[in-house]
Structure 1
Amino acid sequence: MTATATIAVPVVRRSDRLLIAGALAGPVFFASAVIQMATREGFDITRHPIGQLATGGAGWIQIVTFVLAGLGALALAAGIKCTLTEGVGRRALPILVGIFGAGLIASGLFPMGDPESGFPVGTPDQPVARMSWHSVAHSASAVAAYSALAIAAIVLTVRCMRHRAVLPAVLNGATAFVLVLPMSPDCMSIQIAVNGLVAFTWTTILALSLRRTR
């Protein structure tokens, strides 16, 4: 085995682990969220955004979930940097996915901790009169995270078009479109959940695709 091959093997294994961690971020996030939604009394996804699971005595579970998902996204960013060494997006994609990961971590560290609309149980069934500073920080972090991921999807769309990969280009473009749609006050919590599902599906598919074609 040559010296170059000896060095390359640990690098490949490291990028492989990073991509696996990135692929797991979405499933871990939604497995945790779904279990909490099913077991926490009073939570209604049609009225309460997922971030509101961070309120109440069991709120620490969702806080940890945000942080773990963010760490997984940071691992994906590092995996992208190790894997994409040429072409459109080789510099921008790791940065943008890294911003997404950092935004998720910040969303956990600054939880949406305002009880409202009947959750947790015993809370008045009405919106909070004034958002706390950490709820504002949570919302700003989420906006930054999803905006960065939408731009990343656009960058990947351009990359796929350069390689004449039509279907991946269309899917990446659709992902970006969904993530930048304005929020509707009437179905905001559902839209937030859909955005999360789209975003984490995108990161999982990207991680698995890079691992397969590496």
Structure 2
Amino acid sequence: MATTDTQAVHRPARHPLLLAGALAGPVFCLSATVQMLTREGFDLTRHPISQLSTGDLGWIQIATFVLAGMGGLALAAGIRRTVTEGVGRRALPVLVAIFGAGMVAAGVLVMDPENGFPAGTPDEPVAEMSWHSVAHSAAAAVAFTALAVAAIVLAVRCARRRAVPAAVGNGAAALVLLLPMSPEHMSIQVAVNGLVAFTWTTVLAVSLRRSA
């Protein structure tokens, strides 16, 4: 999926930054998975992962968003320090930084409880979204869009280096992230987008560490 090339990396890698970027995805996915399996009333077919930020235990998912976002910001700094030439050397760190900042914002700006979660919430959609719920959705949309554009930039970069499998993988990741949301399957699609996004950041971080 996300990968780069050894010819693009000339400065010594900032390993702590890239390590933080590599760990962001596994931390997010592990935390979200444990919560989905253990929190009463949560149903991924009805509730997006972001709803885990609501209720008495919502602080866990809020912290998960913030930590993952900080990992994305660390990855952006690592990219800026290691990818010093070629297509996307300026755009990539900016786009990944937007993704990281969007994840932090999505954690701070909490969704509204609805559709029976957390337990005790009326089993119906919220009548009117709060400002912070609207802002949460906007932050997540901007974050995923920025990462999709980063994947496209990296696909072009890999194609110019004739790294065809990497170019195809990055293009596929961008395509998934840019697919329109389906109202019937939105919560599943959001989970898939999160998995693709954090797999992409992890693979990129690991690839840069190895190249350096």
TM bucket normalised to smaller: over 0.9
Root-mean-square deviation over aligned CA pairs: 0.9
Which structure has more helix as a fraction of its residues? 1
User: Displacement, 1:158?
Assistant: 0.5
Give CA deviations for 1:58-112 in whole Å, capped at 9, x if unaligned: 0011101000000000000000011101001110000000000000000011111
Task: Please point out which of 136, 153, 163 is paired with 1:165.
Answer: 163
Q: Distance in 2 between matches of 1:30 and 1:132?
A: 27
Q: Distance in 2 between matches of 1:55 and 1:196?
A: 18
Q: Would you say 1:117 and 2:115 are equivalent positions?
A: yes
Q: Distance in 2 between matches of 1:120 and 1:205?
A: 34
Counterpart residue number, 2:12: 12
Q: Distance in 1 between matches of 2:120 and 2:108?
A: 25
Counterpart residue number, 1:3: none
Q: Distance in 2 between matches of 1:100 and 1:88?
A: 19
Q: Distance in 1 between matches of 2:68 and 2:147?
A: 14
TM-score by length of 1: 0.93
User: Displacement, 1:123?
Assistant: 1.0
User: Displacement, 1:12?
Assistant: 3.2
Counterpart residue number, 1:129: 127
Instruction: Give the counterpart letter for 1:165 in structure 2.
Output: A
- Mapping of residues 16-95 of structure 1, within 5 Å: 16-95=15-94
Instruction: Give the counterpart letter for 1:12 in structure 2.
Output: P
Q: Distance in 2 between matches of 1:30 and 1:160?
A: 27
Q: Distance in 1 between matches of 2:113 and 2:72?
A: 28
Consecutive unaligned residues of structure 2, counting only runs of 5 or more, are 1-10
Counterpart residue number, 1:206: 204
User: Displacement, 1:115?
Assistant: 1.2
Task: Please point out which of 149, 152, 161 is paired with 1:151.
Answer: 149
User: Displacement, 1:207?
Assistant: 0.3
User: Displacement, 1:125?
Assistant: 0.9
Q: Distance in 1 between matches of 2:195 and 2:37?
A: 17
* Higher RCO structure (Cα 8 Å, ≥6 apart): 2
Consecutive unaligned residues of structure 1, counting only runs of 5 or more, are 1-10
Instruction: Give the counterpart letter for 1:138 in structure 2.
Output: H
Instruction: Give the counterpart letter for 1:172 in structure 2.
Output: N
Aligned to 1:12, what secondary structure does the other structure show? coil
Task: Please point out which of 186, 190, 194 is paired with 2:192.
Answer: 194
Aligned to 2:47, what secondary structure does the other structure show? coil
Give CA deviations for 1:106-136 in whole Å, capped at 9, x if unaligned: 0011111x11111111111111111110000
Q: Distance in 2 between matches of 1:41 and 1:175?
A: 32
Aligned to 1:211, what secondary structure does the other structure show? helix
Aligned to 1:38, what secondary structure does the other structure show? helix
